[in-house]
Every structure is written in structure tokens, then in C-alpha cells.
């Protein structure tokens, strides 16, 4: 890491240590390797909290922040030691010495010594900050270390009297993004935009959904990046399945396709959705539904500014969608009662967005004491209204099998919000024009 990046991660550890009680320790373990089948493993993805504090992406690791009674702290790492034989099969490791130099730890130990060293390090601490209850394997490790620490101490000298949720603090910290984090999210959005544009330009009747998925992933891989979640490429009625991921249907004429896809840059996710006709030309019915969703998103964006309630975005989106459905005759009744009774949920059943960051559905409270939180500079999130109409016999057939979602990634600024994916087309004219670039070759 360069000095600027090292300082970014040190600042995060400083912030956490400042909130910890004196004479305490924070413990985090890396993510475990996941088996796909038999002896084949999934590609490794580091635990987001561990990545947030260390920028270290190797498995079989652990980190400690040890705060003393004078409110100073030490940052310690346990990592896999260099081993030529194992690295021949499993890949290169940073090793103990390089981890100290590149990650900025005060001390680095071999992970093989953790059961011996860690209990001695924590036995005199009053409080332990950790995340019990998230992973059974990690819970067993933590409980074992606490028990070993207790066994090393007499009843009178064993100091531990509370275990505190580390997530409580990290969730608040991760909710507000730094300039460094926003820059990484912008990079992820920029590459995701290129991928979406390629898909729009190359979409053809008769293609399979997985062929569009391949175009998306190819653009990510060309930049050395991975998807931040499995891409959704949903045509026709599949777009009415919110998290459809089979991506195996042939795309037919006069149908829509909805692509929900984003990549991640150094762990930071983009999340973008676009919906458009497979043949490049919107029907009148498709225009009707699309324009409602687009108007709802644009209205929601206007509510995304500092000091506004986060819930106001969803309320505005619901209002515009219900108004649009009422105007088309797909809902009947009085606007206020339809919203109060949530009749819109037949067509729009999810929230208008979610936090975005190291996890695509990032950490952070939406409410405190059942009251919506207020938006602050640095909060990052999506705004993603949608309308989904399957084969409902009570709905005119021209609207059947239309599923539309429009989603962009945003971050709150001093005066409003910045759309990280603003360079991706989304009006009907823009989408049709981009599609024609391929058809007119």
C-alpha cells in the first residue's frame, strides 16, 4: 500500500480504538474458505469488516486492537507464514515480515501460534469487542480463546467482565464513506457502466440471457474486477422474479430484459439496474410502465440530500408509482387509501434502495427507535424503484410479463447527492438510440 492508503486504514483503526473502553481488545477473524463441492473451493472473498480495518485479503488470519489503560493501542495481526511448499499449490502469501511492512501492524505473528499467544494477550483485558453469533466456526474460536485466557489466570486476576458487539461500532463507521471509499465506488460504477452499455449495444432477439451475462462479466474481467453479486439478466416474465439468477432463457421479440449487475473495486461495490426492450424498441405499453418507474426514481433522487429523512425517498417513490398505476387504471380507488393500504405492493413490493459499500447490501441502521435516520454527507445507497407485472388475469394483456427496475448508486454530498452511475443512459430515447448503434452496423 502507498502511504496515503496506509493512512486511510490507520485512521479507521484510530477511530475504532478511540471508541473502545480503556484496557480492552477488539478481535476480528478473516473469512473462511468456502467449499463449492468435494475439494473445490469458491474464489476467496475477505470478510468486509476485516478488509475495512486491515486491507489484508488472505484467509486464515486474525487481527487485534489492544487498548491499554493509558488509551494507547497496538494493532496486531496473525497471518499464514511463508511456506514454499504450500505456496506452490495455494499461491503466494504476504508472510509475516511483509505483512508488518505493508499492512502497518505493530506486531505480526504466525497464525499457527494464535492459540498460544492470543489468550496471553487478552487475559488481563476488561472488555472484548467481537462479533459472536455470526459464524459458528468463528464463535468456537473466540470462546476457546476466552476459556484459554481464563485458564491462564486466577479467579481474582481474570479481568474480563463484558463482551461487546464490534458490529455496533463498525456499522456506524462504515455507514459514512470517506473520499477514498467514494473514489473506489466511483471506479466500480465506471466499469459497471461500460459493461451495461456493451450489453445494451449487443442485445439481440434470440440471444440467451447468459450471453448478455457473459458480456457483462467480460467487461469486469478485462479490468481485473469481479462481480459484487451474481448478475441478474431477466427477460420477459423472469424480470418479475426479483432475484432471478438462472439467466438461461432465450430472449424473445417484443419482450423486455432487466439487467441488475455491478462489479467491486478493492471490495467496494457498484449496484446498477437497467431495463430495455430486447429488440431495441419500446412498445407503448412498455413505455407506460417504464416512464412511471423513471419518474419515481427521479422524484426519489430529489429527496436525497443532507438532513432529509432516509424514509422520505421511499415515500416519494411509492407516491409516484401509485399515482402512475392509478392513472393507467391498474389500481382503482383513492390515492391516499391505496398508499395507506399498500395496494401498490401487488406491483412494487420492495424498498426503494439500500446502503452500499463493502457489501452490496451494506451495513448500517435505517431506523433508530423506529424512526428513520437522517441522511448525512458520505452515506452511500441505491435508489431502485420497480414495477413487476406477471400474467395477472385482472390486468390488460399488453402489460403482462413486464418487469422494470431502474437502479443507480448515490452518495450524499454537502448539498444533495451525487449519482455515481449518472453516465449510464436511462431515458427511453437514450436506450433506443444506444441499442440502434448495434442494429445499424
Which residues are designated catalytic? 39, 243, 260, 271, 350, 354, 361, 384, 388, 405, 407
Beta-carbon neighbour count of residue 119 at 10 Å?
A: 19
Q: Does an H or E element contain 319, and which?
A: helix 311-328
Could you give the 3-state DSSP secondary structure of residue 353? coil
Q: How far apart are alpha carbons 240 and 195 in whole angstroms?
A: 23
Q: How far apart are alpha carbons 294 and 138 in whole angstroms?
A: 44
Q: How far apart are alpha carbons 158 and 151 in whole angstroms?
A: 9
Q: How far apart are alpha carbons 334 and 341 in whole angstroms?
A: 11
Place of cell 473466540: 142
Q: How many CA atoms lie within 13 A of 386 on its CB side?
A: 31
DSSP character at residue 375 = P
Q: How many CA atoms lie within 13 A of 406 on its CB side?
A: 24
What cell numbers appear for 420 in the block? 455515481
What cell numbers appear for 171 in the block? 456499522
Q: Under a CB-based contact definition with an 8 Å cutoff, are residues 107 and 65 in contact?
A: no
Q: How far apart are alpha carbons 49 and 167 in whole angstroms?
A: 8
Pick left, alpha or beta for residue 55 (phi over 0 → left; psi -120 to 50 → alpha; otherwise beta): left
Q: Name the β-bridge partners of 227.
A: 263
Q: How far apart are alpha carbons 203 and 439 in whole angstroms?
A: 9
| 152-to-23, 76, 155 alpha-carbon distances in Å | 18, 21, 10
Q: Name the β-bridge partners of 274.
A: 259
Could you give the 3-state DSSP secondary structure of residue 268? strand
Q: How far apart are the first and last CA of the chain?
A: 45
Centroid of chain to Cα 372: 20
From start to end of 222-285, where are the E strands?
226-227, 232-235, 256-261, 263-265, 268-269, 272-277
Pairing of strands 256-261, 232-235: antiparallel
What cell numbers appear for 188 in the block? 466500480
Amino acid at each position: 500500500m502507498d502511504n496515503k492508503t496506509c493512512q486511510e486504514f490507520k485512521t479507521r483503526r484510530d477511530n475504532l480504538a478511540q471508541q473502545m473502553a480503556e484496557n480492552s481488545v477488539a478481535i476480528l477473524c478473516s473469512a473462511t474458505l468456502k467449499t463449492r463441492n468435494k475439494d473445490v473451493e469458491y474464489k476467496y472473498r475477505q470478510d468486509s469488516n476485516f478488509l475495512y480495518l486491515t486491507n489484508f485479503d488472505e484467509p486464515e488470519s486474525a487481527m487485534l486492537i489492544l487498548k491499554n489503560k493509558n488509551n494507547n493501542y497496538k494493532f496486531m495481526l496473525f497471518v499464514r507464514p511463508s511456506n514454499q511448499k504450500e505456496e506452490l499449490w495455494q499461491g503466494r502469501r504476504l508472510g509475516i515480515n511483509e505483512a508488518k511492512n505493508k499492512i502497518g501492524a505493530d506486531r505480526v505473528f504466525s497464525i499457527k501460534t494464535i492459540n498460544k499467544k492470543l489468550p496471553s494477550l487478552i487475559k488481563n483485558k476488561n472488555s472484548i469487542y467481537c462479533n459472536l453469533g455470526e459464524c459458528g466456526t468463528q464463535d468456537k474460536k473466540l470462546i476457546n480463546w476466552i476459556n484459554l485466557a481464563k485458564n491462564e489466570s486466577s479467579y481474582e486476576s481474570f479481568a474480563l467482565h463484558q463482551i461487546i458487539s464490534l458490529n455496533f461500532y463498525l456499522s456506524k463507521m462504515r455507514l459514512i464513506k470517506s473520499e477514498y471509499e467514494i473514489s473506489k465506488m466511483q471506479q466500480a460504477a465506471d466499469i459497471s457502466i461500460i459493461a451495461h452499455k456493451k450489453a445494451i449495444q449487443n442485445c439481440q432477439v434470440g440471444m440467451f440471457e447468459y450471453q448478455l451475462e457473459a458480456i457483462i462479466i467480460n467487461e469486469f474481467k478485462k479490468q481485473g474486477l469481479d462481480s459484487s453479486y451474481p448478475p441478474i439478466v431477466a427477460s420477459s416474465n423472469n424480470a418479475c422474479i426479483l432475484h432471478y439468477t438462472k439467466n438461461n432463457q432465450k430472449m424473445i421479440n417484443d419482450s423486455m430484459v432487466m439487467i441488475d449487475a455491478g462489479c467491486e473495486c478493492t471490495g467496494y461495490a457498484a449496484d446498477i439496474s437497467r431495463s430495455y426492450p430486447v429488440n431495441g424498441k419500446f412498445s407503448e405499453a412498455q413505455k407506460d410502465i417504464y416512464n412511471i418507474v423513471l419518474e419515481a426514481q427521479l422524484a426519489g433522487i430529489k429527496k436525497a440530500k443532507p438532513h432529509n429523512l432516509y424514509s422520505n425517498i421511499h415515500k416519494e417513490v411509492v407516491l409516484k408509482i401509485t399515482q402512475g398505476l392509478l392513472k393507467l387504471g391498474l389500481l382503482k380507488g383513492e390515492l391516499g387509501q391505496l398508499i395507506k393500504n399498500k395496494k401498490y405492493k401487488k406491483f412494487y413490493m420492495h424498498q426503494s434502495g439500500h446502503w452500499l459499500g463493502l457489501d452490496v447490501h451494506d451495513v448500517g441502521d435505517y431506523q433508530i427507535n423506529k424512526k428513520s435516520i437522517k441522511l448525512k454527507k458520505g452515506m452511500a445507497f441505491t435508489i431502485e424503484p420497480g414495477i413487476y407485472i406477471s400474467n395477472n388475469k385482472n390486468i390488460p394483456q399488453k402489460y403482462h410479463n413486464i418487469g422494470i427496475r431502474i437502479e443507480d448508486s448515490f452518495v450524499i454530498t454537502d448539498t444533495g447527492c451525487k449519482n455515481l452511475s449518472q453516465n449510464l443512459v436511462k431515458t427511453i430515447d437514450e436506450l433506443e438510440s444506444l441499442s440502434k448503434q448495434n442494429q445499424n452496423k
